[in-house]
A and B are shown apart, each in its own frame.
Chain A
Amino acid sequence: MTPPLLTITDVAVELPTPRGILRAVDDVDLSLQAGRTLGIVGESGCGKTMLSRAILQLLPKKAKLSGRVMFDGQDLVQLAPESLRRLRARDLAVVFQDPMTSLNPVLTIGTQLMETLQEHLELDTPAARKRSIELLAAVGIPAPEQRLAQYPHQCSGGMRQRIAIAIALSCEPKLLIADEPTTALDVTIQAQILDLLAREQRRRHMAMIIITHDLGVVAGRADEVAVMYAGRVVERAPTPMLFKRMHMPYTEALLAAIPKLETAPHTPLPAISGRPPDPTRPLKGCSFAPRCRYATSRCREAKPELTSAEMADHLYACFHPIKMAEGIGA
């Protein structure tokens, strides 16, 4: 088997806050093969965005990063800034959550597309312009030539996210990180954007990490899913396997929180009670224990490690994994 495109080992991110050190990402290991898709799922504040920023080397200045991020044979953490800069866009691209804030409001769309092409592919202006028009057309923007002279505020949210995707795709990256690419968009646009991403990924044979709080988003689109809670990966498995038999009570709760069509009207949604623990005061035991209906005294005393039981590629961190028979509806 070829070595993975991306392997992250023992990655931890610590942020100083007025309340103390916040351990936003807590010893995470992940890997991703070229051309595959990894979904990272968790509720807000679980550290999934910080993890993506750690991979991208775009953490806030105050943040402390430890561990290794091996990408295409190089450790991004150790890489010199100039080498890292050359690798960006060409090998490693990103689409941020909110297209309203991720495009520069005072630069035209053309400038924002063409500057990337000119920086990395050394195209001259007419060539960069031609390529920008092709890219805009590829992400489904009508009349792309006119768009080049426009500013972001003249486009709708969905349109802006398409532009952001065009920018990310412009230099044919090997890995695209999509950080909640649809959260800020209308429901009707969400599926279109996700399908666009999936289509372009297949066409360009690009690896992708989709970060989301919605298990439904990764269901049909990711090859593997990692569920994060309080800075740690608590369950990781190939997507079909995860949905067939999840082991972690948190994953179960996440899935149960998605509203379903077949549910009768006026049924209260089974929301996850409580809030995630304060990340500046780590618990001794399992972070999910205070909210978990299966928790025992053992869960409050010790932290379960990420291990696999019957299946080698299905990892989970729980002392009381959900048994097959209990399933989702238990």
Chain B
Amino acid sequence: MATLELSMQDEVAAAPVRHKRKLGLLFWIASLWLAIVLALAILAPVLPLQNPVDMDMLERRAAFSSEHWLGTDGLGRDEFARLIFGARVSLTVGLIAPLIGLGVGGALGLLAGYFRGRFETLVVGSMDVLLAFPPLIFALAVTAYLGQSIPNLTVILGVLGIPAFMRVARAATLSLARREFVIAAEALGASHARILLRELLPNVILPLLAFFLLGVAVTIVVEGALSFLGLGVPPPMASWGSMIGEGRDSLDVAPRLAFLPAAGLFLTVLAFNLVGDTMRALTDPRQGAL
């Protein structure tokens, strides 16, 4: 056993170990950008914006003006209003779909990692089947049958996210389920429900939330791709993807019609990735840091 002198030394040595994890300037810029986009998207109906679907055939592809801040698109619709209403659509799908994945996938992963056995084999097996479909192709095929609408799109993209969330939750649960505090709770006669909700869930939820942010980024991209192909949100509704798709036809005369929503999409996806990646690094169970 350690002698008295050593234990005193340990206290001295332990003090300077704590160092604050810096989040970095980029993290805050990305968060700020997300806050602005989110605020604009939520407030879009009450902001003094023009109607994003009002066409004006006399003012097609108009340049920037005080009336149309960012000009108009190929059908004479106000580009600025469409950008903000597009953000509304992209973010609605982008935020709600991963919530489905988080809820269903997270619960399945938690249960599979805790109970193991046949249940785990079944869950992992069915996820493998879902993963056998290239995601975009699966989304396209199901949208084709279900019909294009925002709720349909959201549900499909949500279901597609389930396997990934399941894996994250299961991996985190597996690494936790044999730890002392869970075994101690079991030894004290705690019920399964109590261990799952009180002991495991609070520890699994952090990596899941970090993964959620990355999931938002992926979902926005997939929604953008589907809408870009004209198979996502139904026209005349604007989404960043569909705006880029429409702008593609006038790349030679008005490239801004494609590049403005492209920049919005890229910056938002990048911001979600940045924030998500920072959170993931902080909650990574392997590093044991919070």
A residues neighboring B (CB under 8 Å): 18-20, 273-275, 277-278, 280-281, 290-291
27 contacts between A and B (CB under 8 A): A18-B17, A18-B19, A19-B13, A19-B16, A19-B17, A20-B16, A273-B1, A273-B2, A273-B3, A274-B2, A274-B3, A274-B5, A274-B6, A275-B2, A275-B6, A277-B9, A278-B9, A278-B13, A280-B13, A281-B9, A281-B12, A281-B13, A290-B3, A290-B5, A290-B6, A290-B9, A291-B3
Among B246-271, those with CB < 8 Å from A are none
Contacts of A275 in B (CB 8 A): 2, 6
**Chain B: interface secondary structure?**
helix
Among B1-56, those with CB < 8 Å from A are 1-3, 5-6, 9, 12-13, 16-17, 19
Contacts of A281 in B (CB 8 A): 9, 12-13
Bound-state Cα–Cα, A19 to B10, Å: 12
Contacts of A273 in B (CB 8 A): 1-3
Contacts of B3 in A (CB 8 A): 273-274, 290-291
Bound-state Cα–Cα, A290 to B5, Å: 6
Q: How far is the CB of A120 from chain B (nearest CB, A)?
A: 41
Contacts of A291 in B (CB 8 A): 3
Contacts of B5 in A (CB 8 A): 274, 290
Among B33-86, those with CB < 8 Å from A are none
Known: A275-B6, A290-B5, A290-B9. 16 other contacts (CB 8 A): A18-B17, A18-B19, A19-B13, A19-B16, A273-B2, A273-B3, A274-B2, A274-B3, A274-B6, A275-B2, A278-B9, A278-B13, A281-B9, A281-B12, A281-B13, A290-B6
**Chain A: interface secondary structure?**
loop
Contacts of B6 in A (CB 8 A): 274-275, 290
Closest residue of B by beta carbon distance from A276? B6
Bound-state Cα–Cα, A273 to B3, Å: 7
Which 3 pairs of residues, A with B, have the shortest CB-CB distance? Answer: A290-B5, A274-B3, A278-B13
Q: How far is the CB of B21 from chain A (nearest CB, A)?
A: 12
Bound-state Cα–Cα, A277 to B12, Å: 12
Against A, the Cβ 8 Å flags (1 = close, 0 = not) of B180-193 are: 00000000000000
Bound-state Cα–Cα, A290 to B4, Å: 9
Closest residue of B by beta carbon distance from A281? B13
Contacts of B19 in A (CB 8 A): 18
Bound-state Cα–Cα, A142 to B167, Å: 47
Contacts of B2 in A (CB 8 A): 273-275
Q: How far is the CB of B200 from chain A (nearest CB, A)?
A: 30
Contacts of B13 in A (CB 8 A): 19, 278, 280-281
Bound-state Cα–Cα, A278 to B16, Å: 13
Among B171-214, those with CB < 8 Å from A are none
Contacts of A19 in B (CB 8 A): 13, 16-17
Bound-state Cα–Cα, A123 to B268, Å: 60
Q: How far is the CB of B252 from chain A (nearest CB, A)?
A: 52
Contacts of B12 in A (CB 8 A): 281
Q: How far is the CB of A282 from chain B (nearest CB, A)?
A: 12
Bound-state Cα–Cα, A76 to B246, Å: 67
Closest residue of A by beta carbon distance from B12? A281
Bound-state Cα–Cα, A175 to B148, Å: 76
Closest residue of B by beta carbon distance from A19? B17
Q: How far is the CB of A229 from chain B (nearest CB, A)?
A: 15
Contacts of A274 in B (CB 8 A): 2-3, 5-6
Q: How far is the CB of A20 from chain B (nearest CB, A)?
A: 7
Bound-state Cα–Cα, A274 to B4, Å: 9
Q: How far is the CB of A16 from chain B (nearest CB, A)?
A: 13
Bound-state Cα–Cα, A15 to B16, Å: 17
Closest residue of A by beta carbon distance from B8? A290
Q: How far is the CB of B130 from chain A (nearest CB, A)?
A: 34
Q: How far is the CB of B245 from chain A (nearest CB, A)?
A: 47
Bound-state Cα–Cα, A247 to B278, Å: 55
Bound-state Cα–Cα, A75 to B196, Å: 62
Q: How far is the CB of B59 from chain A (nearest CB, A)?
A: 62
Contacts of A290 in B (CB 8 A): 3, 5-6, 9
Bound-state Cα–Cα, A31 to B12, Å: 37
Bound-state Cα–Cα, A274 to B9, Å: 11
Closest residue of A by beta carbon distance from B6? A274
Q: How far is the CB of B137 from chain A (nearest CB, A)?
A: 35
Q: How far is the CB of A251 from chain B (nearest CB, A)?
A: 20
Contacts of A280 in B (CB 8 A): 13
Q: How far is the CB of A327 from chain B (nearest CB, A)?
A: 25
Closest residue of B by beta carbon distance from A277? B9
Closest residue of A by beta carbon distance from B7? A274
Bound-state Cα–Cα, A280 to B10, Å: 12
Bound-state Cα–Cα, A19 to B6, Å: 17
Bound-state Cα–Cα, A76 to B1, Å: 42
Q: How far is the CB of B231 from chain A (nearest CB, A)?
A: 45
Closest residue of A by beta carbon distance from B2? A274
Among B96-153, those with CB < 8 Å from A are none
Q: How far is the CB of B10 from chain A (nearest CB, A)?
A: 8
Most B Cβ at <10 Å: residue of A18, A20, A280, A290: A290
Contacts of B16 in A (CB 8 A): 19-20
Bound-state Cα–Cα, A21 to B42, Å: 51
Closest residue of A by beta carbon distance from B1? A273
Q: How far is the CB of B7 from chain A (nearest CB, A)?
A: 10
Q: How far is the CB of A106 from chain B (nearest CB, A)?
A: 25
